[in-house]
Amino acid sequence: MHAMLLKKIGTALQWTELADPLPGPGEIRVKVAACGVCRTDLHVVDGELPDPKVPIIPGHEIVGRIDLLGTGVEGLRIGERVGVPWLGHTCGVCSYCLGGRENLCDHPLFTGYTRNGGYATAVIADARFAFPLGEAGNDVALAPLLCAGLIGWRSLAIAGAGRKLGLYGFGAAAHIVAQVAKFQGRSTFAFTRPGDVTTQVFARSLGATWAGGSDEMPPEPLDAAIIFATVGDLVPVALKAVHKGGRVVCAGIHMSDIPSFPYRVLWEERQLVSVANLTRQDGLDFLHLAPEVAIVTATTRYPLNEANQALADLRAGRFDGAAVVVP
């Protein structure tokens, strides 16, 4: 098989030919049709996440078809289209797994970080953590749902049922969440990089009630806000934007340091919480709802061997929506 391999943290991915992997017990091999490019991939490449498995094949928004089953796999078949997400394995025996919070597992494996991911022509996945996708929708459009969509969905649930929702950083996740929020009858307020008129127009095209720079306050207090941008400075900004009892959700796996801020900004029962990973139930719930919402993902395609360019364009904010690499 071919893959874009990260051999050393902080360096470019290398186009590499590897032996075809074989699934072990309880695993499947998936022929990759598309893999979304996530900001978490940048965090892996840049060494902003601790203890990555290197060398590693990044990528965790994988859509493909099963072409080989390991022993003991049940409920999946050869040729079936599946999605492989960020959470690639849990121990099943720690207190978090047993308590229904497998997203906080003490001994997890993460696709594209501690087990090989989808910037490749094939990937091995734990069959228990592969979602059947059916035949509706094309592979490239579905790929961003496997992380941007899932983390956005979990963030939306944790944000609560408030009707006025702020989205800080209008990238892959926010452009999906905005569509779900509109479907639910909420009003969304999109915050972009200051002066980024193009993305503000994009946000309004997806139903945002208001769009402006992250240096602006919304026209009315928010019930909740989700911060997708990896900028810690936005935390006190978002807290100021929500009303009494409002909630601010930090949705990223990594964020720059949060500056000190007056307690008054947090007072009056405002809440600051984070989101970590996902559960399989999150995936089942969201992927069941997505067709009803009729989510349209804005995607920019790159050949697999141009994954470095896709990462560079993501870093620079050169596209709206999501990038997807296609073998």
Secondary structure of residue 272 in the 3-state scheme: strand
How does pLDDT run across 106-124, given as a tens digit for each residue?
999 999 999 999 999 999 9
* Cα→Cα distances 282→151, 152, 156, 180, 292, Å: 9, 10, 11, 14, 16
All domains of the chain in start order, with CATH: 2-135+298-326 (3.90.180.10), 149-274 (3.40.50.720)
How does pLDDT run across 280-305, given as a tens digit for each residue?
999 999 999 999 999 999 999 999 99
pLDDT at 52: 87
Give the Cα separation of 118 and 86 in Å (integer). 10
Backbone angles phi, psi at 84, to 5 degrees: -115, 120
Could you tell me which of 194, 150, 139 has the C-alpha nearest to residue 172? Answer: 150
How does pLDDT run across 16-59, given as a tens digit for each residue?
999 999 999 999 999 999 999 999 999 999 999 998 899 999 99
Task: List alpha helices for 95-241, DSSP H.
Answer: 95-98, 139-142, 148-159, 172-183, 197-205, 234-241
Could you tell me which of 187, 164, 322 has the C-alpha nearest to residue 243? Answer: 164
Give the Cα separation of 129 and 70 in Å (integer). 14
Is the confidence at residue 255, as pLDDT, over 90? yes
Compute the mean pLDDT over every residue in the chain, rounded to the nearest whole number: 97
pLDDT at 164: 98
Is the confidence at residue 225, as pLDDT, over 90? yes
How does pLDDT run across 46-97, given as a tens digit for each residue?
999 998 899 999 999 999 999 999 999 999 999 999 999 999 999 999 999 9
How does pLDDT run across 145-183, given as a tens digit for each residue?
999 999 999 999 999 999 999 999 999 999 999 999 999
The amino acid at 68: L
Could you tell me which of 152, 133, 151, 155 has the C-alpha nearest to residue 142? Answer: 133
pLDDT at 51: 87
